[in-house]
Amino acid sequence: MGYHSMALLSLSTRPTDWLIYLIALPLLGCLVHYVVGLFLFHRSKASGGGLRTPPLVPSLLPIWGNFSLGMIFNPREWALTSSSLFGNSVPVRVRFLAIDVYIFQGVKNMHAFLRQKDLSSFNLHAFLLNRAFGLPATAFKMYVKDDSGAYPKPYPESKVEPRNRIEFQLERSLHHFLMGPGLSPLTRRFQTAIAQHFHTLPIGGDWVAWDNFVTFYEQELTAPFLNSLCGEELLRAHPDFLTNLWAFENNIWWMILGPPRCLAPRAYHARDGALRALKDWHLWARDNFDPTAVDADGDDPVWGSKFFRERKEIFDAIDGFDLDAIATHDLAFIWGTTNNSIITSFWTAVETYKDSNLLAQVREESRACLIINSEAGSSGPPQFNMEKLLQQPVLQAIYAETLRLRISGYLVRHHTRGDVEIEGWRIPKNQLSLTSPMHAHMDPEIWGHKEHPVDEFWPGRFLRPASNGSGAAWEFTTEIAQGAWMPYGGGYHACPGRHFAKMMIIFSTALITTMYDCEILAHPKDMAMSMRTFGFGTSGPKGKVPVRIRRRTNW
Q: Are 546 and 209 in contact (CB under 8 A)?
A: yes
Residue 470 buriedness (CB in 10 A; 0-12 / 13-18 / 19+): exposed
For strands 208-210 and 92-96, give the pairing.
Answer: unpaired
Residue 429 covered by a domain: no
| 363-407 per-position pLDDT tens digit | 999 999 999 764 444 578 999 999 999 999 999 999 999 999 999
H-only helix segments in 392-543: 393-406, 438-441, 444-447, 498-515
- Tell me what the mean pLDDT of segment 414-422 comes to: 88
Residue 511 covered by a domain: yes
**Distance spanning both ends of the chain, measured CA to CA:** 81
* Residues 6+ away with beta carbon under 8 Å from 3: none
Residue 42 pLDDT level (bands cut at 50, 70, 90): very low
| 180-199 per-position pLDDT tens digit | 999 999 999 999 999 999 99
Residue 451 buriedness (CB in 10 A; 0-12 / 13-18 / 19+): exposed
pLDDT of residue 77: 87
Residue 227 covered by a domain: yes
E-strand stretches of 309-424: 407-409, 411-414, 420-422
pLDDT of residue 10: 33
Angle between helices 323-354 and 137-145 (to 10 degrees): 80
> How does DSSP classify residue 462?
G
Weakest-pLDDT range from 339-353, 365-379, 522-536: 365-379
Per-residue pLDDT for 358 more than 90? Answer: yes
pLDDT of residue 50: 64
Per-residue pLDDT for 284 more than 70? Answer: yes
Rounded to 5°, angle at Cα 214 from 213 and 217: 90
In the beta sheet, which residues pair with residue 56?
A: 93
pLDDT of residue 30: 42
Residue 401 buriedness (CB in 10 A; 0-12 / 13-18 / 19+): buried
The Cα–Cα gap between 385 and 394 comes to 16
Residue 294 covered by a domain: yes
Residue 219 pLDDT level (bands cut at 50, 70, 90): very high
pLDDT of residue 470: 65
pLDDT: is 22 or 208 the higher one? 208
Per-residue pLDDT for 306 more than 90? Answer: yes
- Tell me what the mean pLDDT of segment 428-447 comes to: 91
Residue 49 covered by a domain: no
In the beta sheet, which residues pair with residue 464?
A: 475
- The closest of 214, 286, 189, 225 to 542, measured between CA atoms, is 214
Structural domain harbouring 466: 134-407+444-483+487-551
Q: What is the CATH number for 291? A: 1.10.630.10
| 2-40 per-position pLDDT tens digit | 433 333 333 333 444 444 444 444 444 443 444 444 444
Residue 38 covered by a domain: no
Residues of the chain with pLDDT > 70: what percent?
Answer: 87
CB neighbour burial string for 456-466, b if at least 16 within 10 angstroms, e if fewer: ebbbebbbeee
Q: Are 86 and 436 in contact (CB under 8 A)?
A: yes
- Tell me what the mean pLDDT of segment 452-471 comes to: 88
The Cα–Cα gap between 544 and 547 comes to 10
| 128-166 per-position pLDDT tens digit | 999 999 999 999 999 999 999 999 999 999 999 999 999
Number of structural domains the chain divides into: 1
Backbone angles phi, psi at 550, to 5 degrees: -145, 155
E-strand stretches of 326-437: 407-409, 411-414, 420-422, 425-427, 432-435
pLDDT: is 99 or 38 the higher one? 99
Q: Are 384 and 362 in contact (CB under 8 A)?
A: no
Write down the mean pLDDT value for the chain: 87
Biggest distance spanned by C-alpha atoms of the chain: 98
Residue ranges of the annotated binding site are: 495
Residues in the chain: 555
- Tell me what the mean pLDDT of segment 249-266 comes to: 91
Q: Are 405 and 517 in contact (CB under 8 A)?
A: no
Residue 213 covered by a domain: yes
Cα dist. 401→140, 307, 392, 456, 485 in Å? 39, 32, 14, 10, 10
> How does DSSP classify residue 131?
H
* Residues 6+ away with beta carbon under 8 Å from 48: none
Cα dist. 264→183, 245, 269, 270 in Å? 37, 15, 9, 10
The Cα–Cα gap between 426 and 429 comes to 9
The Cα–Cα gap between 311 and 330 comes to 9
Q: Are 258 and 128 in contact (CB under 8 A)?
A: no
pLDDT of residue 4: 38
Residue ranges of the annotated binding site for heme are: 495
Residue 370 covered by a domain: yes
3 state SS of 159: coil
The Cα–Cα gap between 85 and 66 comes to 12
- Tell me what the mean pLDDT of segment 35-47 comes to: 44
- The closest of 486, 405, 411 to 447, measured between CA atoms, is 405
- The closest of 241, 250, 270, 413 to 334, measured between CA atoms, is 241
